[in-house]
Amino acid sequence: MTASEQRDAREHRFGSSPDLSMGVEEELLLVDEQYRLRPAAEEALEAVAPEFRDRVSTEIFATQIELKTGICSDCGEALDQLAELRRAIGERGYTLIGAGLHPDDPEDPELVDKRRYEVVKEDLQSLLRTPPCGLHVHVGMPDPETAVQVCNALRHHLPLLQALTANSPFRQGEDSGLASARATVVGSYPRFEMPRAFRDYEDFLRVADQLIAAAGVDDYTYLWWDLRPHPNLGTVEVRGMDVQTEVENDATIAALIQALAAKEVDSPGRRPELTREALEESYFQAGRHGLEARLMVDDGSAAPAREVAGRVLDEVRPYARRLGSEGALERIERIVDEGNGADVQRRVHRGGGIPGLLVDLARRTTGES
């Protein structure tokens, strides 16, 4: 790599947006009248009203579409934008389902023909079996070192976020036994993992440079870690979560992440470093058991997920209040009390089987009662 290329690789946009501003991306499934996967992503993108096209994009699967907010100050703004985008797609005659996986996907995918995806297709081959739908939350960072500090700290919260957002218990018409079967799907892909803690921004760049070279990819955006600094956008991006069926839940989880980031910016260096191995195991337990999991806490012990959630909500409440999102935490408390998406899906399935579940998912995704 030449000296000029090395400098280019280290350019970033941290500080270019307001500190702790948020952006949310949700991956959703396109389905037909029978709620089967519909390979219509490029068609839907062309059909959507022009004013929304820069906030809607395709993914590698032709049955999947991504909706993106702009830079938002709080979860209310993010909620309004995501809800508007879902309506804009629906008004063009496209039905959406918000779930980590389609509950009855035949796993015979059609892929989008784009240059960026050629690298992915070459890499993943037969691993590309079914479209996994994630929720990605960006939080604006003032500088690179703060971004690394916050990224390191948020690793400790990934198990709880997984337990709260797990929303894919069914796969190929059967209960997988997991709260998030999506997590096992993406876990088979390369570079989908929890990163280690980084000493500083240069350490992150060193790891990214070597991994880019090893993978033979163009840049760090092919490093699909569960969370990562995102220099091109000037954010920390939290990625390792199932998309939520109700748009309100996506915005609510974004508010929790924003408040967690604010807490870490305000109180740097206070968290004991749990090992990556322990955090990975806790993360798996959350994907397996959801809110029934036992999760790692800072003293190195494990506690019930609901208890961990209560502690975390108490800790971040002042930050959510400062950011104008305290009300969103009440919805998190409701998820803790009533169950996550996987729990809801199983309850609906007990009453209506897969057909009833598909109808329910489509209705809740569009906001119908």
Query: If phi over 0 gives left and psi between -120 and 50 gives alpha, with beta otherwise, what is residue 119?
Result: alpha
Q: Is the pLDDT of residue 307 over 60?
A: yes
What average pLDDT does this structure show over 82-86? Answer: 97
Structure token digits, residue 34: 């029978």
| Domains of the chain with CATH codes | 3-366 (3.30.590.20)
pLDDT digits (tens, 9 = 90+) for 97-129: 999 999 998 766 676 666 555 555 555 554 567
From CA 23, how far away is CA 21, in angstroms rounded? 7
What is the pLDDT at residue 250?
98
* Residues sharing a CB contact under 8 Å with residue 347, sequence separation 6 or more, in sequence order: 339
Report phi then psi at 73, rounded to 5. -85, -30
**What is the pLDDT confidence band of residue 37, given thresholds at 50, 70 and 90?**
very high
From CA 39, how far away is CA 47, in angstroms rounded? 14
CA dihedral 261, 302, 166, 367 (to 10 degrees): -60
**What is the pLDDT confidence band of residue 349, given thresholds at 50, 70 and 90?**
very high
**What is the pLDDT confidence band of residue 5, given thresholds at 50, 70 and 90?**
very low
**Percentage of the chain lying above the pLDDT 90 cut:** 78
